[in-house]
């Protein structure tokens, strides 16, 4: 039976070494409609995240609190940074992936595949070779709440890889119901992708799959890495030890590299996404429905997560 202590629910003793038992969950902000896409800027000492329905991106800084980073945001959802430190964002409104240049200019990285518009890019990661990987479910075109209602032009809901040299876009995974969060293992040999299709079909999967990835970017066979017992997987990150920390209906679930549930951090609102930040990347920032939360951990985030 799991052991519960304050905000922590321990399912495996390994989890005890990953948490700071005296660290409480801090609510840093609470005026969002659906908070998403947190990304840490270590050089600026700030967190940038999306408030999708409110058409804005917010900036949180220790000591200064919240300010507006961008409004309107084109219904931006997931965010990350590339190897040059530039912000890369998934925009539901434009059905595209963009990069914010150092001077503030916006560069479109991808908005179509094989001559047809993307669905609504959701989450994105950039790995050490500069390639951009993103998921493309249909959440942003299902209604006018998080984007603009439209019929999908793509026949499937894919995971894409954008080559940094040629700009070529490849659909590397095409068999998801609704691909959502994604992240790589620390050695970049495994790609993890969440399937959140149970959001609109209770019989659909609520799991995270793991894919073998070759050095040339070829994606091989997959396996079900883990299944959630509460809610569905949305955004997630890995720590330096290969543990996977994912959003869930009752908080944050932590799975070991073997796919076993180690423990939970209980959060009073449905969690959408998370990232590690702070000067030592040992602070877990959590976007959960209306709020931004944070809690210190005894591990450190993987910078390419």
Assigned token pair, 116: 């047809």
What pLDDT shows up at residue 205? 86
- pLDDT tens column, 65-102: 999 999 999 999 999 999 999 999 999 999 999 999 99
Residue 102 lies in a domain: yes
Assigned token pair, 235: 């955004």
Q: What does each of the 305 residues of the chain score in pLDDT, given as a tens digit? A: 565 558 999 999 999 999 999 999 999 999 999 999 999 999 999 999 999 999 999 999 999 999 999 999 999 999 999 999 999 999 999 999 999 999 999 999 999 999 999 999 999 999 999 999 999 999 999 999 999 999 999 999 999 999 999 999 999 999 999 999 999 999 999 999 999 998 888 878 899 999 999 988 999 999 999 999 999 999 999 999 999 999 999 999 999 999 999 999 999 999 999 999 999 999 999 999 999 999 999 999 997 54
Backbone angles phi, psi at 64, to 5 degrees: -110, -20
β-strands 112-113, 106-110: how paired? unpaired
Please tell me the distance from the alpha carbon of residue 279 to that of residue 85, in angstroms, as a whole number.
16
The answer to whether 62 is a known ligand-binding residue is no
DSSP type of residue 177: S
Residue 216 lies in a domain: yes
Structural domains in the chain (count): 1
Residue 132 lies in a domain: yes
The answer to whether 153 is a known ligand-binding residue is no
The CATH number of the domain where 200 resides is what?
Answer: 2.120.10.30
Backbone angles phi, psi at 167, to 5 degrees: 80, 5
The answer to whether 188 is a known ligand-binding residue is no
What pLDDT shows up at residue 305? 46
What pLDDT shows up at residue 1? 53
Please tell me the distance from the alpha carbon of residue 304 to that of residue 15, in angstroms, as a whole number.
22
Residue 260 lies in a domain: yes
Please tell me the distance from the alpha carbon of residue 66 to that of residue 46, in angstroms, as a whole number.
10
Residue 3 lies in a domain: no
Q: To 10 degrees, the CA torsion angle through 106, 107, 113, 115?
A: 90
Which domain range does residue 169 map to?
A: 8-296
- pLDDT tens column, 203-243: 788 999 999 999 889 999 999 999 999 999 999 999 999 99
Residue 2 lies in a domain: no
Q: What is the pTM of this model?
A: 0.96
Residue 303 lies in a domain: no
Cβ atoms of residues 188 and 207 within 8 Å: no
Cβ atoms of residues 51 and 42 within 8 Å: no
Sign of the alpha-carbon dihedral angle for 272, 138, 53, 124: positive
CA-closest candidate to residue 135, choices 124, 151, 146, 148: 124
Taking CA atoms, 178 is separated from 75, 139, 158, 199, 305, in Å, by 18, 8, 8, 9, 20
Which residue has 């720590």 as its token pair? 239
234 is catalytic: yes
Catalytic site residue from 234, 239, 250, 258: 234
What pLDDT shows up at residue 198? 83
The answer to whether 215 is a known ligand-binding residue is no
Give residue 16's Cα distance to chain centre. 24
Please tell me the distance from the alpha carbon of residue 253 to that of residue 242, in angstroms, as a whole number.
14
Residue 304 lies in a domain: no
The answer to whether 36 is a known ligand-binding residue is yes
């Amino acid at each position: 039976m799991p052991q519960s202590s304050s905000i922590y629910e321990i399912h495996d003793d390994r989890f005890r070494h990953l948490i700071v038992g005296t660290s409480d969950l801090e609510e840093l902000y609470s005026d969002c409609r659906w908070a998403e896409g947190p990304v840490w800027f270590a050089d600026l000492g700030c967190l940038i995240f999306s408030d999708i329905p409110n058409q804005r991106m917010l900036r949180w800084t220790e000591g200064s609190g919240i300010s507006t980073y961008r409004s309107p945001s084109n219904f931006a959802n997931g965010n990350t940074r590339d190897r040059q430190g530039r912000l890369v964002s998934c925009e539901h409104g434009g059905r595209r992936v963009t990069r914010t240049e150092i001077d503030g200019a916006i560069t479109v990285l991808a908005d179509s595949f094989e001559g047809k518009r993307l669905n609504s890019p959701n989450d994105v990661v950039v790995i050490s070779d500069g390639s951009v990987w993103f998921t493309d479910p249909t959440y942003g075109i299902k209604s006018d709440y998080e984007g603009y209602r439209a019929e999908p032009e793509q026949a499937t809901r894919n995971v894409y890889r954008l080559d940094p040299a040629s700009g070529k876009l490849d659909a590397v995974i095409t068999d998801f119901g609704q691909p959502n969060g994604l992240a790589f293992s620390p050695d970049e040999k495994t790609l993890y992708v969440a399937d959140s299709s149970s959001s609109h079909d209770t019989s659909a999967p609520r799991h995270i799959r793991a894919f073998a990835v070759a050095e040339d970017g070829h994606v091989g066979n997959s396996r079900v890495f883990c299944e959630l017992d509460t809610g569905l997987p949305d955004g997630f990150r890995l720590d330096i030890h290969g543990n996977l920390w994912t959003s869930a209906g009752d908080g944050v679930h932590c799975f070991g590299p073997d796919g076993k549930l180690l423990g939970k951090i209980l959060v009073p609102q449905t969690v959408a996404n998370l990232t590690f930040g702070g000067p030592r990347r040992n602070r877990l920032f959590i976007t959960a429905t209306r709020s931004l939360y944070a809690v210190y951990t005894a591990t450190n985030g993987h910078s390419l997560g």
